[in-house]
């Protein structure tokens, strides 16, 4: 123990080293990520669906799992019987998506060109997003094959890893990992370790046994219950963001967790990185994305990151910490920071400040960002157009056009289906995201054309090609509106993603190559850049204007080589030494130099 403290002091005194900077795993450089919220992705097993008791706290209830392809704004029978506002009903909705569904859709993801699957939390929790976990060592009982049996393990197992069993959900997850690895895809899970849910096993014990609980030093109790007053609960505790649903784990004056809690987190970390415990990590996850990193201490994260890398040297760790990336990477030893300034820059230029920021200004900001990071970090940094806390990109674009220059701030978002111009802008932005340096992350359903405003309209059930969806009506949220929108898989958007992702697989230039601007024309609103890696070259041309624009560049090749347009599947012969063509308004073209 003393030795450990000494080690920690030494670590604190050591000058900041930069070894972590070069430690981004090779597979993560330029990878295509895909974020899945399992509850909303695909429901393959209806027998594991959530039950009324866990969702609304009452089993004598007409509550039901929602039909997948129903109109989002239409109330089902049980919802008609409620007086709560529609937004509260949405919080009680469950669609029954599960990990069997993710397993079933691995081929879809492979075909889409996904390299790494990002799963939002999967540990047992009654909530939609699985924040506020009931355990860190079991998959949710609504994600596996046997809801009731899985539940009994979740309810009874405590912190001794030797007594931990594998539930059907845990085993299914392990199968999913093996299968993904065989298809050369990685799986990273999101987790929060600084707080849990009220159903967390140790917290339940504490709530019941109070001072007698074995776990009383796991949490920060502010006052104990007074047994003399059976009608009043005096018990109170420190919780995350003052929300009683999320008890915080206790920290001492130095910011360190109680040792037993730390051991539990470390044992849970080991479990998911090598599920059968045989020392071979093919059945384990490929990394972690951690929320609320700043809640826990720097030494904790350094030690935890070291544990992760000792288990699997190719694993990645991602922090949500909002500091500058190099700071977190150096001090906390994470590989990456989720918050990538590139996401904001492209949202500003393509969407919220569209037409207001000169292209040259955008390019200057992009180059500034590049200079701040090592090349490895720059190409591995994850960019996102939307996430579980923001409106869908399609809806942000549609609303920005209604309120130019003001983005979506201060407006109640129009929920309507984006029109064809919105989609053109969305495709331009997507082409940029998938061809500019960085690692794009797709939020489930952006590739199939999903739209929706602020939470929870952004987490509608996934739009699949094989389902027929009810048309979307808006009268529930926009009284008097009689509009009905077709809701179906957007094949054109899907192909934009699929073709460019597949192009990334074949062209190292798009994954790890450098980037040079060839045309930055503020007047014509034409942008061209080229990604290069050795002799591999990919050229990207964009026309942001509402006019057709004639493009001419001289790529400087020795011979008049051919180029390939992945969207046209025909070779393109250079006119002597020039690439010449006309680009339609709000459109782009990608050309690959033929080897």
Q: Which one, 46 or 480, has the nearer CB to Ca ion?
A: 46
Question: Binder to Ca ion among 38, 52, 102, 141 (CB under 5 A)?
Answer: 141
Among the candidate windows 106-114, 221-229, 291-299, 507-515, which touches Ca ion by CB under 5 A? 221-229
* Least CB distance to Ca ion at residue 151 (A): 7
Peptide bond into 539 cis (omega under 30): no
* Least CB distance to Ca ion at residue 222 (A): 14
Does the protein bind Ca ion through residue 49 (CB under 5 A)? yes
Cα–Cα distances in angstroms (integers) from residue 468 to residues 5, 49, 238, in the given order? 61, 21, 47
* Least CB distance to Ca ion at residue 384 (A): 27
User: What is d(CA 391, CA 458) in angstroms, rounded to the nearest whole number?
Assistant: 5
Strand ranges (DSSP E) for 348-411?
382-384
Does the protein bind Ca ion through residue 148 (CB under 5 A)? no
* Least CB distance to Ca ion at residue 218 (A): 21
* Least CB distance to Ca ion at residue 126 (A): 6
Instruction: From 135, 150, 64, select the one nearest 100 (Cα to Cα).
Output: 150
Does the protein bind Ca ion through residue 211 (CB under 5 A)? no
User: What is d(CA 277, CA 271) in angstroms, rounded to the nearest whole number?
Assistant: 7
Query: Which residues, 6+ apart, have CB-to-CB distance to 294 below 8 Å?
Result: 321, 322
Residue 183 host element (H or E): none
Does the protein bind Ca ion through residue 535 (CB under 5 A)? no
Question: Binder to Ca ion among 280, 322, 475, 505 (CB under 5 A)?
Answer: 280
User: What is d(CA 66, CA 64) in angstroms, rounded to the nearest whole number?
Assistant: 6
C-beta of residue 436 within 8 angstroms of C-beta of residue 515: yes
Among the candidate windows 7-15, 224-232, 385-393, 447-455, which touches Ca ion by CB under 5 A? 224-232
User: What is d(CA 466, CA 505) in angstroms, rounded to the nearest whole number?
Assistant: 27
Residue numbers 74-103 binding Ca ion by CB under 5 A: 96, 98
Does the protein bind Ca ion through residue 226 (CB under 5 A)? yes
Q: Are strands 536-543 and 526-533 parallel, antiparallel or unpaired?
A: antiparallel
3-state secondary structure of 153: helix
Residues in the chain: 595
Does the protein bind Ca ion through residue 575 (CB under 5 A)? no
Q: Which one, 462 or 592, has the nearer CB to Ca ion?
A: 462
Give a three-class secondary structure readout of 365-377: HHHHHHHHCCHHH
Q: Which one, 125 or 317, has the nearer CB to Ca ion?
A: 125
C-beta of residue 574 within 8 angstroms of C-beta of residue 562: yes
User: What is d(CA 77, CA 89) in angstroms, rounded to the nearest whole number?
Assistant: 12
Burial label, 440 (beta-carbon count in 10 A; 0-12, 13-18, 19+): buried
Q: In what order do the strands lie in the sheet with 526-533?
A: 514-521, 526-533, 536-543, 587-593, 562-565, 570-573
User: What is d(CA 13, CA 5) in angstroms, rounded to the nearest whole number?
Assistant: 12
Q: Which one, 49 or 386, has the nearer CB to Ca ion?
A: 49
Q: Which one, 124 or 457, has the nearer CB to Ca ion?
A: 124
* Least CB distance to Ca ion at residue 48 (A): 5
* φ/ψ of residue 142, rounded to 5: -95, 5
A 10 A CB-CB count for 103 gives 17
3-state secondary structure of 124: coil
User: What is d(CA 589, CA 522) in angstroms, rounded to the nearest whole number?
Assistant: 18
Does the protein bind Ca ion through residue 278 (CB under 5 A)? yes
Question: Binder to Ca ion among 39, 140, 190, 422 (CB under 5 A)?
Answer: 140
Does the protein bind Ca ion through residue 229 (CB under 5 A)? yes
First to last CA, the chain: 60
Q: Which one, 149 or 225, has the nearer CB to Ca ion?
A: 225
# of chain residues touching Ca ion (CB under 5 A): 18
Q: Which one, 279 or 479, has the nearer CB to Ca ion?
A: 279
Does the protein bind Ca ion through residue 17 (CB under 5 A)? no
Does the protein bind Ca ion through residue 274 (CB under 5 A)? yes
Does the protein bind Ca ion through residue 155 (CB under 5 A)? no
Question: Binder to Ca ion among 48, 291, 439, 543 (CB under 5 A)?
Answer: 48
* Least CB distance to Ca ion at residue 274 (A): 4
Does the protein bind Ca ion through residue 276 (CB under 5 A)? yes
* Least CB distance to Ca ion at residue 283 (A): 4
Q: Which one, 56 or 477, has the nearer CB to Ca ion?
A: 56
Q: Which one, 30 or 101, has the nearer CB to Ca ion?
A: 101
Strand ranges (DSSP E) for 462-513?
472-473, 484-485
Instruction: From 482, 477, 467, 423, select the one nearest 72 (Cα to Cα).
Output: 477
Instruction: From 289, 380, 534, 338, select the one nearest 26 (Cα to Cα).
Output: 380
Q: Which one, 225 or 357, has the nearer CB to Ca ion?
A: 225
Does the protein bind Ca ion through residue 58 (CB under 5 A)? no
User: What is d(CA 496, CA 540) in angstroms, rounded to the nearest whole number?
Assistant: 14
Does the protein bind Ca ion through residue 232 (CB under 5 A)? yes
Q: Which one, 161 or 407, has the nearer CB to Ca ion?
A: 161
Among the candidate windows 74-82, 133-141, 176-184, 342-350, which touches Ca ion by CB under 5 A? 133-141
Question: Binder to Ca ion among 8, 36, 39, 45 (CB under 5 A)?
Answer: 45
Does the protein bind Ca ion through residue 491 (CB under 5 A)? no
Among the candidate windows 36-44, 191-199, 419-427, 534-542, which touches Ca ion by CB under 5 A? 36-44
* Least CB distance to Ca ion at residue 473 (A): 26
Among the candidate windows 22-30, 267-275, 307-315, 585-593, which touches Ca ion by CB under 5 A? 267-275
C-beta of residue 169 within 8 angstroms of C-beta of residue 144: yes
Does the protein bind Ca ion through residue 225 (CB under 5 A)? yes
Residue numbers 406-465 binding Ca ion by CB under 5 A: none
Does the protein bind Ca ion through residue 402 (CB under 5 A)? no
User: What is d(CA 393, CA 40) in angstroms, rounded to the nearest whole number?
Assistant: 18
Residues in contact with Ca ion by CB under 5 A are 43, 45, 48-49, 96, 98, 140-142, 225-226, 229, 232, 274, 276, 278, 280, 283
């Amino acid at each position: 123990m003393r030795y450990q403290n000494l080690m920690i002091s030494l670590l604190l005194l050591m000058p900041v080293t930069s070894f972590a900077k070069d430690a981004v795993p090779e597979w993560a450089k330029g990878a295509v990520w895909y974020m899945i919220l399992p509850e909303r992705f695909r429901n393959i097993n209806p027998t594991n669906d959530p039950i009324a008791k866990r969702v609304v706290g009452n089993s004598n209830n007409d509550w039901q799992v929602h039909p997948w392809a129903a109109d989002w704004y239409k109330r089902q029978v049980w919802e008609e019987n409620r007086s709560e506002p529609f937004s509260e009903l949405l919080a009680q909705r469950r669609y029954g998506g599960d990990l069997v569904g993710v397993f079933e859709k691995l081929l879809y993801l492979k075909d889409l060109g996904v390299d790494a699957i990002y799963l939002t939390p999967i540990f047992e929790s009654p909530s939609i997003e699985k924040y506020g976990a009931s355990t860190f060592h079991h998959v949710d009982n609504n994600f596996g094959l046997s809801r009731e049996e899985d539940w009994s393990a979740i309810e009874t197992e405590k912190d001794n890893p030797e007594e931990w069993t594998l539930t059907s959900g845990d085993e299914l997850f392990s199968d999913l990992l093996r299968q993904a690895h065989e298809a050369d895809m990685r799986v990273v899970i999101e987790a929060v370790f600084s707080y849990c849910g009220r159903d967390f096993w140790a917290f339940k014990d504490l709530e019941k046994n109070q001072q007698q609980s074995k776990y009383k030093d796991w949490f920060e109790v502010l006052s104990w219950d007074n047994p003399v007053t059976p009608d009043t609960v005096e018990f109170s505790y420190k919780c995350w963001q003052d929300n009683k649903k999320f008890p915080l784990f206790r920290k001492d004056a130095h910011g360190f967790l109680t040792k037993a809690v730390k051991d539990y987190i470390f044992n849970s970390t080991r479990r998911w990185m090598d599920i059968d415990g045989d020392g071979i990590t093919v059945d384990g996850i490929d990394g972690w994305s951690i929320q609320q990193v700043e809640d826990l201490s720097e030494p904790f994260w350094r030690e935890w990151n070291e544990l992760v890398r000792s288990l699997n040297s190719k694993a990645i760790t991602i922090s949500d910490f909002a500091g500058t990336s190099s700071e977190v990477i150096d001090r906390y030893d994470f590989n990456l920071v989720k918050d990538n300034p590139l996401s904001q820059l492209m949202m500003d230029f393509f969407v919220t400040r569209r037409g207001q920021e000169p292209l040259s200004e955008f390019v200057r900001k992009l180059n500034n960002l590049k200079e701040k990071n090592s090349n490895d970090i720059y190409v591995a940094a994850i960019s996102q157009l939307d996430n579980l806390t923001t409106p869908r990109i399609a809806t942000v674009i549609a609303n920005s056009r209604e309120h130019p220059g003001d983005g979506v701030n201060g407006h109640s978002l129009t929920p309507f289906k984006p029109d064809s111009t919105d989609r053109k802008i969305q495709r331009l932005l997507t082409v940029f995201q998938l061809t500019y340096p960085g690692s794009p992350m797709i939020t489930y359903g952006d590739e199939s054309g999903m739209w929706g405003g602020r939470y929870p309209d952004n987490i509608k059930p996934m739009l699949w090609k094989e389902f027929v969806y009810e048309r979307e009506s808006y009268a529930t949220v926009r009284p008097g509106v009689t509009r009905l929108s077709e809701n179906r898989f957007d094949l054109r958007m899907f192909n934009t993603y699929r073709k460019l992702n597949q192009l990334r697989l074949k062209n190292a230039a798009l994954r790890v190559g450098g980037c040079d601007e060839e045309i930055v024309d503020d007047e014509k609103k034409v942008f061209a850049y080229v990604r290069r890696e050795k002799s591999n070259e990919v050229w990207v041309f964009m026309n942001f204007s509402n006019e057709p624009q004639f493009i001419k560049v001289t790529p400087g090749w020795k011979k008049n080589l051919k180029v390939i347009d992945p969207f046209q599947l025909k070779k393109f012969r250079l006119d002597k030494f020039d690439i010449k063509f006309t680009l339609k308004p709000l459109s782009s073209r990608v050309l690959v130099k033929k080897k």
